[in-house]
Structure 1
């Protein structure tokens, strides 16, 4: 006699009987990440406007929490959902997922109430655990194609550690932040370069639209390689003029890459078009980062960083959050009025922040208006998407 066949990852996933909110990583981390973005910006604006202390240094706290707080949550939600699909292994769910969430929350609390070694250690733990999860799953699943993702997550965790060590060791200023942002850029160019043309092709085939986007090929490999080299240069020598010109060249390459995906043909479906718009923000970030180094009298480094963070990262993460939530929750892959409004609010918030310095509007008023628009998009996501993230998938 033979015993029952061992349960597969799919069997175990279907047998899960716990809270729906803890059934996939995207559910808690997309929801809590959006909530944290909507909370952290007002905290920062209050500190900036009224001089309140937060996390020791309000400016550094703001930079840290949007990169290693908000973005870390979205990366975790994406990877904990995508890696099981890549490897065929069981996703993190139930109590283990809840413990991951607690570690992330502990980091947020620690960064608000403290700024010493204990707070740094608590905060650093989350991304180290996330990197360990990625390596374990990809290696056990023999999913060699996605080893670069494991490397990038490990470097992201290292960037967070370096961010904290800067206060205690003689490290180059902001090297942890630049490393973290560089990893974010590489993930956007790598993963975005997979999903944007793929989703565009799927939509265009349904519409009968031709010609289709260009597939991943040698041009994309060259663009990614030069992007990586440029970012290494930026991490090591952020003020070198050669790095600035390299950013401009990379911007031109990614502009050509974006054109090859034919995003202008997707304007009839905001859920697809927003991916192209978000990547356009990234292209703009490359150009502005380059000009900020070559001609800082024209564009400040702060403005260039906000093109990257509020624009590219904010828009692309929200595009992924909405699409993944709809798809994995069994909802139609369509952007209704609410979802389109989310995209518009985040776009306007970033645009006001970037365009503001070129106007005569009071800086504090500008910051407040930009922040209000941007966080309204994330609040609306929590309101509209929260119910589906807390309820079981529709069959």
Structure 2
């Protein structure tokens, strides 16, 4: 399809009503970041002062749930509700449907926090609704747009949705909670390998081309397909048998392949622009995460340390990177990182490194420091990007699908 015939999707189509309901990234990025701050602050208060959280879930389970199934799905929703219209040429979810979807996510957060009042059954049932509804919306748009190649993205969303449902069932029946948390985390990491492999080399190529620099990142090919397949299979095995000895060499291979893949994208060439460099740095936690899985199986580090490399390292840092870039791009701001943005990145990278170290050293102080860095990183995002998300864009324009 030629450039002139490509459908063009005006960003922020809905002009009546509040700007925040004009596109999915606006409420979900802002809501997700605010919840990242609030949920972590509550968790630190529970550690330091015994603040009761989550009713019958208990503070540790509430914390694990709200990081994996509360904060992260909001950012994922903001990204996909914005990206899928660009992939398919469809109109974005906006206005009343977007308000309803965001309200469903927010009601889950309230119910989980107030589970002591509402009861476990009600809180679990309400919380479990958001991800299946979101998955249905994504599937509907991709199928309508006949973008069959993009259906693989839904596999990751499905893994997260099933993980959340399984988590609640395990709480009710005394089942293996770790299985469902690992399943959801694996879903996020696979999404990073798929979507990251699409946007990171593409953005890098555009930046280098605009400045007449070369060589360009290696184009997506069979090597990338093989890396994604090996990564997904290794993660699937880890989900079900996290201590199986044979997974250690598989994880080392997957980590090595992802490291080579990252090098092919020429991240060092874009070190002058943090808004782009951060995507490469965030993806670097993917091979680190696989190496951590191998080390945990070899009993050189604790399994929870490996899990935190994946959750704080891969998931959270990539989400912050995507939120800052997408917000600037979709609100008409220059695609360059401010000092405040760079500081938010550094805070989260420090948190991602400190959290596994806290597990290794069994240091409550380091856990609190990691949590404080997390809070500061997302607070800086809310302070700088909140006004952008709440206001109308500067100059409406179209975007080629």
Give the structure-1-normalised TM-score: 0.93
Residue 123 to residue 9, structure 1, CA distance change in 2 (3 Å): farther
Q: Which residue of 2 aligns with 1:3?
A: none
**1:171 Cα shift?**
3.9
Q: Which residue of 2 aligns with 1:287?
A: 291
Q: Which residue of 2 aligns with 1:57?
A: 58
Residue 10 to residue 20, structure 1, CA distance change in 2 (3 Å): same
Structure 2: distance between partners of 1:176 and 1:355: 24
Structure 1: distance between partners of 2:8 and 2:209: 32
Runs of at least 5 residues in structure 2 that lack an aligned partner in the other structure: 1-6, 396-401
Aligned counterpart in structure 1 of residue 267 of structure 2, from 257, 260, 263 = 263
Q: Is the 8 A contact 1:44 1:62 kept in 2?
A: yes
Aligned counterpart in structure 2 of residue 154 of structure 1, from 155, 158, 162 = 158
Q: Which residue of 2 aligns with 1:314?
A: 316
Residue 136 to residue 358, structure 1, CA distance change in 2 (3 Å): closer
Q: Which residue of 1 aligns with 2:340?
A: 338
**1:10 Cα shift?**
4.7
Q: Which residue of 1 aligns with 2:240?
A: 236
Where relative contact order (Cα < 8 A, 6+ residues apart) is larger, the structure is 2
Cα deviation digits, residues 205-230 of structure 1 (max 9, x gap): 12222111111111111111111111
Kindly report which structure 2 residues correspond to 1:298-309, keeping only aligned pairs within 5 A, or say none. Answer: 298-309=300-311
**1:253 Cα shift?**
0.5
Q: Which residue of 1 aligns with 2:103?
A: 102
Residue 243 to residue 116, structure 1, CA distance change in 2 (3 Å): same
Cα deviation digits, residues 18-58 of structure 1 (max 9, x gap): 21101000000000100000011111112123333211221
CA RMSD of aligned residues (A): 1.7
Number of matched pairs: 384
Structure 2: distance between partners of 1:239 and 1:82: 37
Cα deviation digits, residues 304-334 of structure 1 (max 9, x gap): 1111111121111000000000000010101
Residues 1:184 and 2:165 aligned together = no
Q: Is the 8 A contact 1:220 1:257 kept in 2?
A: yes
Of stretches 32-41 and 303-312 in structure 1, the one that deviates more from structure 2 is 303-312
- Give every structure 1 segment of 4 or more consecutive aligned residues whose post-TM-superposition deviation is greater than 6 Å: none
Q: Which residue of 2 aligns with 1:111?
A: 112
Q: Which residue of 2 aligns with 1:251?
A: 255
Give the structure-2-normalised TM-score: 0.92
Runs of at least 5 residues in structure 1 that lack an aligned partner in the other structure: 1-7
Kindly report which structure 2 residues correspond to 1:1-395, keeping only aligned pairs within 5 A, or say none. Answer: 10=9, 14=13, 16-55=15-54, 56-114=57-115, 116-169=120-173, 171-294=175-298, 296=299, 298-356=300-358, 363-395=363-395
Query: Secondary structure of 2:171's partner?
Result: coil
